[in-house]
Structure 1
Amino acid sequence: MSPQPIVFIVDDDKAVRDAVHLLCEAHGLQVESYASAQAFLDSYAPDREGCLVLDICMPKMDGLELQAHLAAHQIELPIIFITAYSSNDKVKLARNAGALDILEKPFQPDVLIDRIRTAFKSTK
């Protein structure tokens, strides 16, 4: 039996990160949260399946840079971007680079959970 996939939350906004973490736990999902892209990279092992719930706009390494880094290292994690800036050019770049979905903050909790479950199905 393979281990349960993990929801990796990467968002510099603690309130959002904590809310998404609790939402995922409430739905029985295994979840890990990180305050930065670098913190995620420092702890991630490529053999761990799951999906990323990733903020586009973060200081230092933003979500697009993390997406590009993962692609360059052939790490295939489905990415659900969350953003407060849906009209931003970064949204177009994220979608063109293969993001599974992009949700605008504030998003409906059930929509995020549905997208996460879809992401898990795409990894099987």
Structure 2
Amino acid sequence: MNNNATTVYVIDDDDAVRESLSWLLESVGLKVETYADARSFLAHITTSQTNGCVVTDVRMPGMSGLELQTELTERQIGLPVIIITG
């Protein structure tokens, strides 16, 4: 990952939601990375990645969006988090 690029990280267990959000965000010129679950995202993110934001579903198997936000805070990863639900 390019630590200087502004990236929107989309985390959602629903394939259709991930794909549609990715398409929408990319259509306005944003760089997007998608993950099917919070743990996959956490395995790739580092504390040096501070440009961008997280868009995550509130309810997902394994780790919810709220639990993800707590984990990011505990790891001192200062990305803003937008929590969505459908």
Structure 1 length normalisation: TM-score? 0.64
Quote the residue 1:78 is aligned against.
80
Check conservation: 2:46, 2:77, Cα contact below 8 A. Answer: no
Map Cα deviations across residues 50-81 of structure 1 (whole Å, 9 max, x no partner).
10001000001111111111111111110111
Alignment of 1:35-114 (within 5 A): 35-48=36-49, 49-84=51-86
Q: Root-mean-square deviation (CA), in Å?
A: 1.2
Aligned to 1:25: 26
Q: Aligned letter for 2:17?
A: V
More relative contact order, 1 or 2 (CA 8 Å, 6+ apart) = 2
SS at match of 1:75: coil
Equivalent position SS for 1:47: coil
5+ residue gaps, structure 1, are 85-124
Structure 1 equivalent of residue 16 of structure 2: 15
Q: Which runs of 4+ in 1 moved over 3 A?
A: none
Once residues 65 and 71 of structure 1 are traced to their aligned partners in structure 2, the CA distance between those partners, rounded to angstroms, is: 10
Write the distance in 2 (CA, Å) between the matches of 1:71 and 1:44: 13
CA distance in 1, matches of 2:48, 2:75: 13
Q: SS at the partner of 2:83?
A: strand
Q: Which residue of 2 aligns with 1:3?
A: 4
For 1:16-35, what per-residue CA distance to the aligned partner results, in whole angstroms no more than 9, with x for missing partners? 00000011111100110000
Higher helix share: 1
